[in-house]
Structure formats: structure tokens, C-alpha cells
Structure 1
Amino acid sequence: MPGMAPQYQIRADYDARTIVVYQAYPPVIADAALRAGRFVTPFSFHRMTWIKPSFSWLMHRSNWARKAGQERILAVRMTRQGWEEALSRAVLTTADPKAVAQAAVHVQWDPERSPRGAALNHYSIQVGLGRQVIRTFTDDWIVSLTGLTGLTAQVRKAAALTQTGHAGRAQRLFPQERAYPLPPRLHGVVPGGG
């Protein structure tokens, strides 16, 4: 049908050099990262960290930043070069378990969410960065960290609008996301999405 989103498509807030991905953390991790301008302890450099370019999906996942341990939403602006490097090393989480276990980067596609939390008929990408690439992510790929808790009023307003049947108005408060143009070298490399 015309106007429908492709089932698998990376949608994101990006510019010529960077892309924004989102993460949810407890205050102790988010506050330390924001003070330092980069991820520092108590952020774990020894376990997979997941990045998501869909603001709506992360809002759904964190229950609008109300879920325990996910009260602080960070907008992580990273280089497109780093994003594409991560995608070039990705293995789909539903692939052969041995391949998944050895992969430096995991990709998972989950149903995208409407502002009201309903599953849509297209998918949103999540990218899991393993121990092999976390330091590169934190030290080389990240351009800036922004705490969206400073935008709590806006996020809460969007949640209230959504809950009172004004999802269209809520959507206007979200970051503008559009189809991400994968370079030709990644066509067919991003499992399910290129």
C-alpha cells in the first residue's frame, strides 16, 4: 500500500555526519556519564550495551522513563561511520547460536510502537554492542551525550497527551526520524533491513 513504511527500515534522527541513538539508564549511570561527557564507571564496559535509534520504541520499553533502572533517557549522538561500522559487524540474534555467541555486534528487530504503545506492522532496529566494541563506541564513536531528563516535561506531556487520546499531538513532541540511507556496501549486510 502506498504510504506504508517498509517492514524493515532503519529510521533515525541523523545529519550528514552523525546519528542519534537512545539508551535508558538508572540515574547513577546517566548522571556520571553526563558529568564526564562520556560513559564512565559505573557504566559497564564488560557487558553488551544496546542502542536504539527509535525514540518511540525506547519510550515504550522504558514505560516513558518510569521503569526502575530506566528512569534516565540519554540521546547519544554518534558518528555515522561508527554506526555503519557496527552494522557491518552485526549478526541477527535469531541466527545460528554459535555465530551469535561469537559476534561483536547483535541486531534485533522488534515491532515499532505507536505513541500509545501499540505494536505497528513494521520493525525497529536495536543494535547490541559487545565487549569487543564497547570501548570503541564510548571513546571513538560518541560525539555527545544529552540527558533527555532535562526534557522530562516534554516527555511527560507527550505521555499525557497519548494517554488522553491525543497521540497525533504527542507525536509532534518526538524527535523527527526518517529513513536512514544505508550505503551500498551495507545493502544486504544489515540482517533483515537492507
Structure 2
Amino acid sequence: MRKLVYTCFMSLDGVVDSPGGGPGEEHRSAGWLVQDIEFLPEAMALKGEELAETTALMFGRNSYESFAAVWPDSEDHEAYKELPKYVVSTTLPEDALVDKWGPQTILRSTEDVAALRETDGGAIFIHGSAELARRLSEAGLIDQYNLLVAPVLLGAGAGLFDRADRDKYQLTLRESESYSNGILKLIYDVKH
């Protein structure tokens, strides 16, 4: 069975919307991470550690379209270029997949994601895609959360967790660290 890992930059009030402020990020505070938080390499080391574990990437449609506009030609994301990518969307047409970005597959349902998770292979990392993460969490498909929590309250934007009435589930803290710029690294395993 493959592990699904959700990774994100998150504000203290749970917003994951537009931390980098790049194309397609129209949040009123877009760029909040890169503009407002001092850059410390050690606080971002998790991203390199994740890359060593990543065997595939998964996105919702909106995040796919945002990342696909930048990552294929980005030197910073060169290591992701040839990894398999899965896009979870009921509406994205096959001809909308970008060229020069490795193998790409559209999954049309949560059930398709569950079936992929049951296959052999390594960890699949989900970047951005808050709506997809909420749906997969509700279906019990997220295995791990890698969170870099920034010391900022945004007050609005897409959040990782919703307030819908649902059964609780327990997380186990695997690793944590704090950095002088106020960022907290929190890695949680989901108890299934």
C-alpha cells in the first residue's frame, strides 16, 4: 500500500492559500510566506527531505493548473519534473495536461485515489490542493501531514481543515521542531 502525505505551508489560523504568491494565487494576502517570514534554510529543510521520499505527486485541478504553469520550467522544482503526477478532477480534459512534465494521470474520483493508494510503490505527496486534502481526509485516505506552520494570522483563505460535523480521528506526532523565524515543523501520522 502506498502512503498519501499532505504537505503544506500553513498560517497559524489554518490557511494554506497562496503562500508563495505566484501565478494563479489571487488570495488577498498572496505571498504571505515569502514576503512576511524571514527565510531560514533549516526551516525549509523538510522540503528536501520530502523529495527523497516522493515517488509521485498528486494535485487537485486548481493546484495542478497553478503548479503546471511554473514548475515544469523551474530550476527549483527540477527534481519533480519526471515524477509521475496524478490530478484528481472530474472536469479536467486529457488535452489540458501539460507537456514536458513527466507522466500524468487524471483520477476522476476519491475511489480512484483509494485504488491507487492500494497499489505497490512509495509515498505520494499532495502539494497545495486544500479542497482535495479535505475530501481525502474525510474518506480516511491521508496517512501523514507534513506542516510548516508560520506565525501569521491571515483571517481568510482556503483552510486545510473544515468545520463540518464528522467523526474525530487521532494523530500521532512523529516529529516537531521550531525555528528562530517562528516557523514550526509538525509531522503527524494519522491513526487509521
TM-score normalised per structure 1: 0.22
TM-score normalised per structure 2: 0.22
Tell me which protein shows more helix as a share of its residues. 1
